Amino acid sequence: MPRPARSSPASGAAGYQQTRSAHRQETAEDYALAIARLVEHRGEARVRDLAQVMGVSHVTVVRIVKRLSDEKLVTTEPYKPVALTAAGRRLADTARKRHELVRDFLVSIGVPAKIAAIDAEGMAHHISDATARAMRRAVGKR
């Protein structure tokens, strides 16, 4: 039986770079989606609500909201709710669709729905556009 081709250490760099970039984007997507869901269900998203939803400290949320504000994904003022900008809403919508796609794909291959929903939370951030297209084809979404 032939041995699988081995990659050189340098060839793995692209994968590591993609993963690091995905982790940074993952935080932005998670917060944008959490803000959108809070606004949808409660009418507003406050720092304390985000801290509770995300399971992190108030200080962590303030730091991340500042970064998202610098990236023009949210607007915020002291003692006011956090609001998504148009770019933030697009990011939240894209993240929601990608999570749903991965969840639906996992369910289609026999993963129980509850487990698929949990697994999709992490996986959705790390798939390439090519993988997402293949998943859409597999579940019949265009």
pLDDT digits (tens, 9 = 90+) for 73-90: 999 998 899 999 999 999
Q: Which residue has the tokens 């500042």?
A: 66
CATH class as words, domain 19-139 = mainly alpha
Domain ranges, ordered by start, for the chain? 19-139
pTM above 0.85, yes or no: no
Report yes or no: 90 and 74 within 8 Å, Cβ to Cβ.
no
Report yes or no: 39 and 31 within 8 Å, Cβ to Cβ.
no
CA distance to 6, 10, 102, 113, per residue, from 3 (Å):
9, 20, 32, 37
* pLDDT for 48: 96
Tell me what the pLDDT averaged over the chain comes to: 89
* pLDDT for 142: 65
In terms of C-beta density within 10 A (0-12 exposed, 13-18 middle, 19 or more buried), how is residue 35 classed?
buried
Q: Note the pLDDT tens digit of each residue in 6-61.
A: 555 555 677 677 666 667 788 999 999 999 999 999 999 999 999 999 999 999 99
* pLDDT for 25: 82
DSSP 86-106: HHHHHHHHHHHHHHHHHHHHH
